[in-house]
Amino acid sequence: MLNAAVFSTADEQLIRGNYVEAEDSYAKLLRDAVQEKNLPLWADCLQSLGDVYMEKAQDKQFQIRERVNDLTKAVALYNAAVAMVRQADETDRIQVLSHRIQRVEKVFLKCVGSKATTRPSSKLQQHNKSQLKWMRETAFQRLMECERDCCNFDENPMENADVMTKEYKWALKVHQLYKEIADNIKEFIRGLVNECIEALGQPPCEYAVIGLGSLAREETTPFSDFEFAILVEEGKDTARVKGYFRNLTNLLHIKVINLGETILPAMSIRSLNDRVSGDVERDWYYDSVTPRGFAFDGAMPWASKTPLGRAATKDKPALELILTPSQMAAIQEEDRAVKEGYHLADVLAKVTHVVGSLALVEEYQKMVRDTILSSIYGKNLHLTTVEEGASTSSKDVEVEQNRHWKALMSGLKMTTQEGIYLGLLKVGHSYEVKKEIYRFPTTIISTLGICCGAFENSSWDIVGGLRRNDVITESAAHNLKIAVCLALALRLRRYMASGAQRDAMTVTHSFVLLADVDLDTSDLLSTFNLENTNTLARFYHTALPLQIVLSKVRKSGDPNVMKSNLIELLEDQSLYDDTNLTRGLIHLRFGQYEEAEAALRQAVEDEDHADDVAVHSYVLSLRYQD
């Protein structure tokens, strides 16, 4: 009865147009439903919150910009309610929610004044979901082909040319798979953008949608967030032009949300996940039901890599990413990068053409490259060498003032102890594949490429550029490519196993990835179990020596000689380490205590590790902590 009374009050508030009060009332009921695990009430509250945003979007006292943004929140809430009624086994309610979902797009087009006659949105939604399903099934089959051709990763490639050849052939297949995934996703997005243009009319000027992040690096999966920006031709950044592309972005967002894989916290809804006020108590809702998959980058202030950009916060003004090439390239300038945040500048440094004018993208890429080169080497300096007598007094040339070298060193924050690579002492714990395995090599390689003149996008191509520039040896290039492809393959295996972005992985033997797994009916496993630990061990055999090299560079003293120290350290490095110390640490991470103890006791006796007795003693003691 109490819930009914609160609902009645909230409904009356909504009818009177008291949107804030109505939203807060429904949100309070939602908190109760979450705490009580009352799934039907939970779904009712999500639907009612969607109604608040739908009604507000039709209220002409608000600006168009706010109204269309509210519609994206409404459709996200309705989709979340659909996921909840399925969880509650009340599928008879889906038709009511589907009607609301279809209505959102109609209201949107009315809000923006579009009179276009478009195909029924329900049919388009089914088509788009089918396309996404096809992409995933294709990627899964290609992944299984890589699995069948996978080498055992139980031999040293530095001692056996045949093993190195097998490793390379496998890695090349993984690299080609990811290129194919990126191409398919870009084609999918092109289709969605064309649907939007069909509804909104032709763009008012030359433009280009550019992919950012993992899509630009050809490391995206069919479950990854979509990060992007929009370039418009120089001199055409008028209010009318920006308004058109805001509308296009919002309509595209509605279409992506209707794939059913956008979690509510990514929407930054005021009463559920308020990230603007800074009040942590207002950021409380956790979406445990919606499968996290293909979606826009989240609307949180630290994310927001979409054309609508970042909302204003206490510390920073709002920032849109609908810009001309020169405006967007200016974010790379040091003063601007400091103001907007280095992360945004780094993300915008590497882009890929998705749809629109290729010439605009190429113009922007040239501007970015020139700006970065000027920042790192100075306007009178060559790419890889300093001319004799050239001035090096500019603060732009000082490595200690350069964000790219700082970013390279920041990769070492994942180090748990001097000489011990990220998480190796987390004995037997589960892994977060994206954070613990994927990010380290790809981030380091990307930043190392910028610092050493390899400006390619993908890790594979950057490694090739580093080799051409004689920064790394042939063996190191091979091993870095293997490490990256192992990280990419493990990440894709993990997502495929659950049909969503889930990162937890263990190294037990209770799960096998089968070729006939049904992506529609497979359980959403909370933890993926990696059967063959050789693949992960092979990753560590390269990741650990890479970390050690960077650690030595960081300890070099004068930051202005980092580059020369790094090149000197890398010039004879294979970046492959299968010493007893490394093998012992890997066994320990896997919870293989007997093998770890045997290898580490042998490491104590090794001449090369005479100074590491304290580390070994600490490591061996971990066996007996429980």
- The residue extents of the domains of the chain are 2-111, 121-259+294-377, 411-578
pLDDT of residue 484: 97
Please compute, for residue 565, the number of CA atoms within 13 A of its CA located in the half-sphere on the CB side. Answer: 16
Residue showing tokens 């997005």: 189
More confident residue, 237 or 303: 237
Which helix or strand (DSSP H or E) is residue 505 part of? Answer: strand 504-506
Output the average pLDDT for the chain. 84
Q: What are phi and psi of 566, to 5 degrees?
A: -65, -45
Which of 359, 505, 356 shows the shortest CA–CA distance to 428? 505
Which of 136, 155, 134, 132 shows the shortest CA–CA distance to 144? 136
Question: Once rounded to an integer, what is the mean pLDDT over residues 58-66?
Answer: 94
Assign residue 113 a region (left: φ > 0; alpha: ψ between -120 and 50; beta: otherwise).
Answer: left
CA angle 214, 220, 225 (to 5 degrees): 80
pLDDT of residue 56: 97
Residue 393 near residue 399 (C-beta atoms within 8 A): no
Q: How many helices (H) and strands (E) does the chain have?
A: 22, 9
Residue 141 contacts by C-beta under 8 Å, 6 or more apart in sequence? none
Question: What's the CA gap between 503 and 482, in Å, rounded?
Answer: 21
Question: Would the pLDDT of 522 be above 70?
Answer: no
Question: Once rounded to an integer, what is the mean pLDDT over residues 281-298?
Answer: 92
Least confident span in 79-83, 178-182, 447-451, 555-559: 555-559
Residue showing tokens 């942590």: 280
Band of the pLDDT at 290, cuts 50, 70, 90? very high
pLDDT of residue 49: 98
pLDDT of residue 416: 40
3-state secondary structure of 529: strand
pLDDT of residue 411: 57
Total length of the chain: 626
pLDDT tens-digit series, residues 122-162: 888 999 999 999 999 999 999 989 888 777 888 899 999 99
pLDDT of residue 382: 42
- 3-state secondary structure string, 285-316? CCCCCCCCCCEECCCCCCCCCCCCCECCCCCC
Residue showing tokens 């550019």: 210
pLDDT of residue 184: 98
What are 327's two structure tokens?
Answer: 């405006």
Residue 602 near residue 581 (C-beta atoms within 8 A): no
Which of 270, 279, 285 shows the shortest CA–CA distance to 30? 285
- E-strand stretches of 550-624: none
pLDDT tens-digit series, residues 370-407: 888 777 666 444 444 333 333 333 344 344 346 677 76
Share of the chain above pLDDT 90, in %: 54
**CATH node for 2-111:** 1.25.40
pLDDT of residue 589: 80
Question: Would the pLDDT of 478 be above 70?
Answer: yes
Question: What's the CA gap between 68 and 252, in Å, rounded?
Answer: 12
Q: How many CB atoms lie within 10 A of CB 277?
A: 12
Which of 451, 472, 424 shows the shortest CA–CA distance to 584? 424
Band of the pLDDT at 581, cuts 50, 70, 90? confident
Q: How many CB atoms lie within 10 A of CB 367?
A: 17
Q: For residue 626, give Cα distances in angstroms to 293, 445, 586, 622.
A: 38, 38, 19, 8
Q: Which residues pair with 310 in a beta bridge?
A: 319
Share of the chain above pLDDT 70, in %: 82
What are 375's two structure tokens?
Answer: 């920042």
Pairing status of strand 295-296 against strand 225-226:
parallel
Buried b (16+ CB within 10 A) or exposed e, 387-403: eeeeeeeeeebebeebb
pLDDT of residue 428: 62
Question: What's the CA gap between 422 and 543, in Å, rounded?
Answer: 9
CA angle 236, 232, 343 (to 5 degrees): 130
Residue 573 near residue 622 (C-beta atoms within 8 A): no
What are 513's two structure tokens?
Answer: 């990835």
For domain 121-259+294-377, say whether CATH 3.30.460 is its number: yes
pLDDT of residue 558: 56
Residue 500 near residue 294 (C-beta atoms within 8 A): no
Question: What's the CA gap between 451 and 456, in Å, rounded?
Answer: 12
Question: Once rounded to an integer, what is the mean pLDDT over residues 422-426?
Answer: 59
pLDDT of residue 170: 95
pLDDT of residue 250: 97
Question: Once rounded to an integer, what is the mean pLDDT over residues 29-38?
Answer: 94
Question: Would the pLDDT of 333 be above 80?
Answer: yes
pLDDT of residue 63: 94
Please compute, for residue 187, the number of CA atoms within 13 A of its CA located in the half-sphere on the CB side. Answer: 10
Least confident span in 28-37, 79-88, 502-511: 502-511
Judge if 2-111 and 121-259+294-377 fold alike in CATH terms: no
Residue 570 near residue 472 (C-beta atoms within 8 A): yes
